[in-house]
Structure 1
Amino acid sequence: MTELDDTDRAIAQALQRDATVSAGALGRQLGLSQPATWRRIRRMEEAGILAGWRADLDLPALGLGVTVFLGVKLATKSRVSLEEFERAISAIPEVQAVDHVLGRYDYRLRITARDLADFERVLRRRLMTLPGLGDIEANVLLSEERLPGPL
Structure 2
Amino acid sequence: MIDLDETDRKLLRALSEDATQSAGALGRRFGLSQPAAWRRIRRMQDAGVIAGRRLVLNKEALGFGVTVFLGVKLATKGRVSLEDFERAISAIPEVQTVEHVLGLYDYRLRVVARDLADFERVLRRRIMTLPGVGNVEANVLLSEERRPGPIG
CA distance in 1, matches of 2:66, 2:39: 41
**% of aligned pairs identical?**
73
Contact persistence 1:17–1:150 (CA under 8 A): no
CA distance in 2, matches of 1:14, 1:150: 12
C-alpha displacement at 1:8, in angstroms?
Answer: 1.4
Structure 2 partner of 1:148: 147
CA distance in 2, matches of 1:3, 1:80: 43
C-alpha displacement at 1:76, in angstroms?
Answer: 2.8
Contact persistence 2:80–2:132 (CA under 8 A): no
Give the AA of the match of 1:124: R
Contact persistence 1:24–1:37 (CA under 8 A): yes
Contact persistence 1:99–1:108 (CA under 8 A): yes
Contact persistence 1:113–1:119 (CA under 8 A): yes
Which residues of structure 1 form unaligned runs of 5+? none
How many correspondences in the alignment?
150
Greater fraction of residues in helix: 1
Give the AA of the match of 1:69: F
> TM-score, length-normalised on structure 1?
0.90
C-alpha displacement at 1:135, in angstroms?
Answer: 0.6
Structure 1 partner of 2:85: 85
RMSD of the alignment, in Å? 1.7
**How has the CA–CA distance of structure 1 residues 40 and 79 changed in structure 2, closer, same or farther, with 3 Å as cutoff?**
farther
CA distance in 2, matches of 1:99, 1:148: 19
Matched, 1:66 2:73: no
C-alpha displacement at 1:5, in angstroms?
Answer: 2.0
> TM-score, length-normalised on structure 2?
0.90
Q: How do residues 2-151 of structure 1 correspond to structure 2 at under 5 angstroms?
A: 2-78=2-78, 81-144=81-144, 146-151=145-150
**How has the CA–CA distance of structure 1 residues 15 and 128 changed in structure 2, closer, same or farther, with 3 Å as cutoff?**
same
**How has the CA–CA distance of structure 1 residues 78 and 33 changed in structure 2, closer, same or farther, with 3 Å as cutoff?**
farther
**How has the CA–CA distance of structure 1 residues 34 and 80 changed in structure 2, closer, same or farther, with 3 Å as cutoff?**
farther
C-alpha displacement at 1:12, in angstroms?
Answer: 0.8
Contact persistence 1:67–1:110 (CA under 8 A): yes
